[in-house]
Amino acid sequence: MKKCTLAAVILLAAQTIISSCRENNTMKTTDTSTSSATDSNFNVEAEAFADLQLLRYQIPGWNELSEKQKELAYYLYEAALSGRDILYDQKSKYGLMLRKTLETIYGTYQGPKDSSWKQFEVYCGRFWFSNGNHHHYSNEKFFPECSKDYFVELLKKSDTAALPKDAGESVESFAHRIIPIIYDPKIEPKLVDLRPNVDNIKNSSNNFYENVTQKEVEDFYGKFDTKGHAPSWGLNSKLMKDSTGKIVEHTWKSGGMYGASIDKIIFWLNKAASVAENDQQKKTLDLLVKFYQTGDLKTFDDYSIEWVKDTASRLDAVNGFIEVYLDAIGKKGSFESTISLKDMEATKRISAIAAQAQWFEDHSPLMPEHKKKQVKGITAKAITVIVESGDAAPSTPIGINLPNADWIRKEYGSKSVSLSNIIHSYNVASEKSGMLEEFAVDDTVRDRAKKYGNLASDLHTDMHECIGHASGQINPGVETTDKTLKNYASTLEEARADLVGLYFALDPKLVEIGVAPSTEVGKAEYDNYMMNGLMTQLTRLKPGEQLEEAHMRNRQTVAKWAYEHGKKENVVEFVKRDGKTYVRVNDYNKLRTLFGDLLREIQRIKSEGDYKAGRDLVETYGVKVDPVLHKEILARYAKLGIKPYRGFIQPKLIPVLKDGKITDVKVEYPTSFFQQMMEYAKGYSFLPIKN
């Protein structure tokens, strides 16, 4: 499981939201600097539009790599981008048709580029950022501000031969077909619908299922044994009915669904395996290729086990159908890839935490029967990202813990990573946001945040990934959480991992092992978490909306539960001053006890598969929004003039060839998100519009 920066990051409010003082300019050129050292003059901020701010990151350590390592990185980079089409189709059966339509218009339109064009351009940016026409965070469908008639004119004044029309179809007919998909709020209104007491499959517009009900899906997978060493059944397939009405899986593999993209991934992974750093890395890559060739989920587990064992390589790759957040019932994995190199210096902190994993497990407030007697094989490191794609981009995690399979983590361990260069760019961009000045309750909290905020956030992320997701165990005979906790599984798992980090954030053990100078760091994280969970994360919602996204639900569940259960002793309070609301923590030790109590209960829910208790917890504390407080927060936030969401333009790797062989790989840092999307359209479009 990952702790995503725009989906789950627990940063100080000053770091959660960043400045957007730069004007949107889609005509920027590419910065062709090839320096790989961190440049203090490097401009982190790029374009801004709608509610989005684009950032850039550098790849420090690149020049330390050998020629062979750079070649390996390039092949993995190409494999990552080769799967880009898949996510668009996973999000919507219309996704690739819509994207190719926008690309055609954006690249070939011959008419005037007036204010309506600017509105269309913003829609393109939002679509590319979200990998589809549903908001990357809220999952709600969004629409162009330009009119339907104008959109039709765009179609007519573009290269009509390049539009993804059916054979012989006129532009008028194509427009009649595509305009409702873009503009009608009743067509695919919500990407992921987590509401209780509805058919979450039917009401979610992703492309993981077609013409099946939630009951049919649950009955289909209910026949699969998920106890013990069972694979993650359903992870890499679409479930639908064939022409006879029989429910069948369309597996994502070579020769199957998404085969054209997967064959490209296989091609580049094979080249990567040929220049692997060591035998273990080669074995891992070969197994990943075999998985893509066969679609066999047992092979994917074999690959995951060997991937965990590869601790010596400097370079690493995540590539596959990994996270299940886009599936309301948590079965189907979205394509993503993250290519990285180990940050040797930053790894020291997270490794110090990993080395004490057994101590943390032994001293956690979990019930004894829910603790792991032996925590195995947690490999923790900080990484420098080289490129991200699919569900990891442009909105990116700042921490990752994989594999997701509980039994593999229990028996073989896991890898926990912190994305150091991504975090660095966030920190640089957030220095002047003004969020602390606006929302911190007093100077003590504000000064502590400025002194310890970055470290507090980093430590919480490290513990969330390293000891949070790796802690606890499911009771014998209890099935996996996609069956037991269903649409609440992701929220509860993220809450559980957050609570592990919060419980130990105030522990003197962190000072003892040298990762924190004092327990004041933990207080800084408590201040931030409660402020964010109860107030500042609401800046991402529109008036009248409730919490839908799993990580936002997680944060409010934790913060609101602790607030409500600490009311009698005034552990946390809302403070009113000059018509503004603030959050104050009055007793940090009692708040820690409350975090421990909730952690114990959520682990019990997971260990026992207690769906009712999990549902009631999330629905009671994690969904509803106080409309009066929300209105106030939005008004205060609007005055800061900053964007609530951020994502990244990816670096570009350029191979240097001599006699047909790679002799070096240079790094470019593009400055235009729009230009990069058009380059990706040209170089990495492998799938047809219907899959």
Task: Say if CB 103 and CB 678 are below 8 A apart.
Answer: yes
pLDDT in tens, 564-595: 999 999 999 999 999 999 999 999 999 999 99
pLDDT of res. 356: 94
Predicted pLDDT of residue 13: 34
DSSP-derived secondary structure letter, 465: I
47-to-6, 165, 275, 323, 425 alpha-carbon distances in Å: 17, 32, 37, 28, 15
**C-alpha 498, offset from chain centre:** 15
Lowest mean pLDDT across 118-127, 264-273, 481-490, 617-626? 481-490
How far is 109 from 473, CA to CA, in rounded Å?
Answer: 57
Closest to 4 in 3D by CA, of 488, 453, 400: 400
Structure tokens at 173: 């007919």
What is the three-class DSSP state of 518? Answer: coil
Long-range contacts of 475-481 (CB under 8 A, 24+ apart): 475/369, 475/370, 475/607, 475/608, 475/609, 477/227, 478/227, 478/607, 478/608, 478/609, 479/226, 479/227, 479/609, 480/226, 480/230, 480/232, 480/406, 481/330, 481/606, 481/609
Q: State the Cα angle at 107 between 102 and 111, rounded to 5°.
A: 95
Q: For residue 434, what pLDDT is reported?
A: 86
pLDDT digits (tens, 9 = 90+) for 225-244: 888 899 999 999 999 999 99
Q: What is the reported pLDDT for 38?
A: 60
pLDDT band at 494 (very low <50, low <70, confident <90, very high): very high
Angle between helices 489-505 and 520-534 (to 10 degrees): 150
C-beta neighbour count of 233 within 10 angstroms: 19
Query: How much is the pTM?
Result: 0.84
CA atoms within 13 A on the CB side of 273: 16
Single-letter residue type at 658: K
Q: Give me the mean pLDDT over the 635-645 stretch.
A: 92
The larger pLDDT score, comparing residue 465 to residue 200, is at 200
Instruction: Domain ranges for the chain, please list them.
Output: 2-69+256-648
Please list the helix, strand and coil fractions of the chain in percent, rounded to the nearest 5, in that order.
45, 15, 35
What are the C-alpha distances in Å from 565 to residues 598, 618, 626?
A: 10, 15, 18
* Of the listed ranges 161-175, 234-248, 453-467, the one predicted with least confidence: 453-467
Q: Given CA atoms 363, 366, 369, 375 in this order, what sign does their dihedral have? A: negative
Q: Which of 535, 672, 564, 690 is nearest to 106 (CA)?
A: 672
CB 130 within 8 A of CB 136: yes
Burial tier of 225 (Cβ tally within 10 Å: 0-12, 13-18, 19+)? exposed
Average pLDDT value for the chain: 92
